[in-house]
C-alpha cells in the first residue's frame, strides 16, 4: 500500500448519489469516522441545496465507516487505487441519526429477523448505457460485447478485486446498453454492492474516455435502464424458506405474505424505487417494464416476478426460488429500496396476507373485474402521483422520520421545478448527465 493511498468514507443520499470525504488511508479512524452535516442530505440531483429542506447551516454529524463494506478499487486505467468504505450517518455521540438511509435498511433487517427469524438474501441487477453516437451492433450479440472491450473485461476484474463477486456481463437489448449482475448476498451487503457498482462503472468508463449512464431513460423513444432487485428469504442458519411445492406459485406461507405486502404498498414504494421524473417514461406498456402491481410467473411486465428454477442435473428448486422486483431504477437509493421492500414484506407477514394470485398474461388481457378480484392496482404514472401515494399511505410514511419525509419531498419537488417546461428529450438529457 502506497503511503499516499486514499480512503473515501461514503454515504449514498436520497438522490442515489455517493458523497463523502477522502483522507489518507493510514489515518482512517474506524471508530469515529469523519465529520458530516445534516444539510448535505438536502443537496439535490442537480447539485444545489433545495428549498424546503428541514436542515440549515446548523448541526454536526459523523460518517462512521463499516469495515464490512470496505472495497479496494484497483485496476482502472490511469487511476490510483482507492479504498471506499460505506458509512452510517450518526450523531456526534455515536447514536443513530434518524435520516440515515443505511441505518434505515439495517433497522429493517433487524426487525424482520427479530419478529420472524428470517433474513433477506438478494442482489441488484443493473442496466446502463454507454453514451455514444457510434452505430450499434446487433442487440445481445457477441459483436456488441466485443465492441465494448476492453471495458467489459476490465470491469469484471475490478468488481472481482473489490469483492463484489460479478456473475454475468452482457450487451443488452438497447443500443450500447449493458447489463452486469453480481452474486447474491445478505440484504445490507447486496445494497452496498449496488452503491459501489454504479460508481465503479462510471469511473471506469470515464477513464476510457466514455460516459456510462444508469439514467432510467436516455431517449424517450429508446430502451430504458432498470434496476431489478432479486431477493429470497432464508432462516438465520442460511436455509432457504421460499419454496413450498404444495402452495400456489410454489411460495411458502411466509414468502406469499411477504410478496403480498410489497404489492399492497407498491404505489407508495415507487416514490423511492422510481425516484425521478423520467422513471415514469420507462414504466409504460410494452417496454418490458411495469405499469401495475401484481405477481407474475415468468412475466417480465409484472412488478414482482417469480423467477424460474431449473432441474438440470437434479438441481433442487428449493434453494433457487426468488422474486424479482422490477419497478426500480438507479435514481433510487439502494439502501432505501431494499429497506422499503423488507418493511413492506414484513408488514405482509404481520397482517398474514394471503399470497397474491399469479398472473401470466399481459396486463391488457386481464379484465378489470379480474384485476379487482386479484388486488391488482395501477402504479403511479408520474413522480407527483407517486409522492401523493406516499402521503396517502400512512404505513409506508410511518416507517420514516418526519425530517426524512420532508427532505425527500423537497428534493423531488425541486427536481420537478427545474424540469418544468422542458420536453421529454431534454429531461432525459439532464438525468443522463447526473446518473
CA angle 12, 18, 20 (to 5 degrees): 95
CA–CA distance, 10 with 113 (Å, rounded to integer): 27
Number of domains in the chain: 2
Residues 290 and 160 placed together within one structural domain of the fold: yes
Grid cell in block for residue 312: 438440470
Residues 89 and 128 placed together within one structural domain of the fold: no
Structural domain contains residue 158: yes
Structural domain contains residue 60: yes
Structural domain contains residue 402: yes
Please give the DSSP secondary-structure letter assigned to residue 327. S
77-86, 195-204, 241-250: least confidently modelled range: 241-250
Residues making up the chain, counted from first to last = 435
User: Span 409-421, mean pLDDT?
Assistant: 97
Residues 165 and 31 placed together within one structural domain of the fold: no
Residues 62 and 126 placed together within one structural domain of the fold: no
Residue that terminates a domain, selected from 65, 94, 123: 94
What confidence category does residue 139 fall into, taking pLDDT thresholds of 50, 70 and 90?
very high
Residues 194 and 315 placed together within one structural domain of the fold: yes
pLDDT digits (tens, 9 = 90+) for 41-63: 999 999 999 999 999 999 999 99
Residue that terminates a domain, selected from 94, 114, 129: 94
CA–CA distance, 409 with 390 (Å, rounded to integer): 10
Residues 29 and 158 placed together within one structural domain of the fold: no
Residue that terminates a domain, selected from 94, 124, 149: 94
pLDDT at residue 39 in the model: 97
pLDDT digits (tens, 9 = 90+) for 297-306: 878 889 999 9
CATH number (domain holding residue 41): 3.10.20.70
Mean pLDDT taken over the chain = 95
CATH number (domain holding residue 151): 3.30.590.10
The pTM is what?
A: 0.96
Our CA dihedral for 73, 76, 78, 79, rounded to 10 degrees, sits at -20
CA–CA distance, 196 with 73 (Å, rounded to integer): 9
What confidence category does residue 35 fall into, taking pLDDT thresholds of 50, 70 and 90?
very high
Residues 328 and 267 placed together within one structural domain of the fold: yes
For residue 22, what are the CA distances in angstroms to 4, 102, 236, 371? 12, 19, 36, 52
Grid cell in block for residue 2: 502506497
Residues 161 and 305 placed together within one structural domain of the fold: yes
Domain that holds residue 39: 6-94
Place of cell 476492453: 150
CA–CA distance, 11 with 61 (Å, rounded to integer): 12
| DSSP letter string, 201-245 | HHHHHHHTT--EE--S-SSTTSPPP-EEEEEEEEETTS-B--B-T
Residues 182 and 323 placed together within one structural domain of the fold: yes
pLDDT at residue 26 in the model: 93
Structural domain contains residue 226: yes
Residues 49 and 113 placed together within one structural domain of the fold: no
Place of cell 483522507: 23
Structural domain contains residue 1: no
What confidence category does residue 320 fall into, taking pLDDT thresholds of 50, 70 and 90?
very high
What confidence category does residue 2 fall into, taking pLDDT thresholds of 50, 70 and 90?
low
Structural domain contains residue 11: yes
Residues 63 and 130 placed together within one structural domain of the fold: no
Structural domain contains residue 137: yes
Burial of 171 (0-12, 13-18, 19+ CB in 10 A): buried
Grid cell in block for residue 404: 426524512
Structural domain contains residue 124: yes
CA–CA distance, 396 with 317 (Å, rounded to integer): 33
Residues 88 and 107 placed together within one structural domain of the fold: no
pLDDT digits (tens, 9 = 90+) for 329-377: 999 999 999 999 999 999 999 999 999 999 888 888 788 888 887 788 9
282-291, 321-330, 350-359: least confidently modelled range: 282-291
Name the packing angle between helices 402-419 and 383-392 (round to 10°).
160
Name the packing angle between helices 334-350 and 101-116 (round to 10°).
30
User: Span 119-129, mean pLDDT?
Assistant: 98
pLDDT digits (tens, 9 = 90+) for 163-180: 999 999 999 999 999 999
Amino acid at each position: 500500500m502506497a503511503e499516499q493511498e486514499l480512503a473515501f468514507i461514503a454515504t449514498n443520499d436520497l438522490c442515489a448519489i455517493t458523497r463523502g470525504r477522502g483522507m489518507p488511508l493510514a489515518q482512517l479512524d474506524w471508530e469515529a469516522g469523519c465529520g458530516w452535516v445534516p444539510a448535505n442530505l438536502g443537496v439535490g440531483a442537480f447539485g444545489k441545496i433545495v428549498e424546503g429542506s428541514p436542515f440549515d447551516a446548523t448541526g454536526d454529524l459523523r460518517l462512521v465507516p463499516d469495515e464490512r463494506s470496505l472495497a479496494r478499487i484497483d485496476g482502472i486505467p490511469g487511476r490510483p487505487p482507492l479504498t471506499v468504505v460505506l458509512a452510517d450517518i450518526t450523531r456526534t455521540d455515536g447514536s443513530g441519526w434518524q435520516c440515515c438511509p443505511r441505518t434505515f435498511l439495517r433497522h429493517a433487517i433487524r426487525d424482520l429477523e427479530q419478529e420472524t427469524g428470517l433474513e433477506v438474501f438478494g442482489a441488484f441487477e443493473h442496466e446502463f448505457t454507454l453514451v455514444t453516437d457510434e452505430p450499434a451492433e446487433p442487440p445481445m450479440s457477441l459483436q456488441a460485447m466485443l465492441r465494448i472491450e476492453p471495458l467489459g473485461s476490465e470491469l469484471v476484474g475490478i468488481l472481482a478485486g473489490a469483492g463484489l463477486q460479478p456473475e454475468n456481463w452482457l450487451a443488452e437489448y438497447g443500443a450500447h446498453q449493458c447489463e452486469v449482475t453480481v452474486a447474491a448476498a445478505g440484504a445490507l451487503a447486496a445494497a452496498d454492492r449496488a452503491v459501489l457498482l454504479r460508481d465503479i462503472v462510471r469511473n471506469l468508463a470515464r477513464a476510457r474516455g466514455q460516459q456510462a449512464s444508469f439514467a432510467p431513460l436516455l431517449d424517450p423513444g429508446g430502451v430504458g435502464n432498470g434496476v431489478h432487485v432479486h431477493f429470497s428469504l432464508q432462516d438465520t442458519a442460511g436455509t432457504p424458506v421460499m419454496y413450498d411445492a404444495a402452495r400456489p406459485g410454489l411460495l411458502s406461507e411466509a414468502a406469499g405474505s411477504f410478496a403480498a405486502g410489497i404489492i399492497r404498498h407498491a404505489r407508495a414504494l415507487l416514490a423511492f424505487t422510481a425516484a425521478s421524473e423520467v422513471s415514469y417514461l420507462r414504466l409504460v406498456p410494452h417496454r418490458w417494464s411495469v405499469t401495475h402491481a401484481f405477481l407474475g410467473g415468468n412475466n417480465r411486465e409484472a412488478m414482482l416476478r417469480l423467477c424460474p428454477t431449473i432441474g438440470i442435473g437434479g438441481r433442487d428448486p428449493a434453494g433457487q426460488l426468488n422474486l424479482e422486483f422490477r419497478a426500480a431504477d438507479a435514481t433510487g437509493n439502494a439502501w432505501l429500496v431494499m429497506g422499503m421492500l423488507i418493511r413492506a414484506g414484513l408488514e405482509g407477514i404481520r397482517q398474514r396476507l394471503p399470497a397474491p394470485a399469479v398472473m401470466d398474461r399481459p396486463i391488457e388481457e386481464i379484465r378489470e373485474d379480474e384485476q379487482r378480484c386479484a388486488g391488482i392496482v395501477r402504479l403511479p404514472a408520474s413522480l407527483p402521483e407517486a409522492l401523493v401515494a406516499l402521503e396517502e399511505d400512512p404505513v409506508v410514511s410511518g416507517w420514516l422520520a418526519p425530517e426524512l419525509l420532508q427532505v425527500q419531498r423537497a428534493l423531488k419537488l425541486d427536481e420537478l421545478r427545474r424540469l418544468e417546461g422542458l420536453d421529454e428529450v431534454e429531461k432525459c438529457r439532464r438525468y443522463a448527465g447526473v446518473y
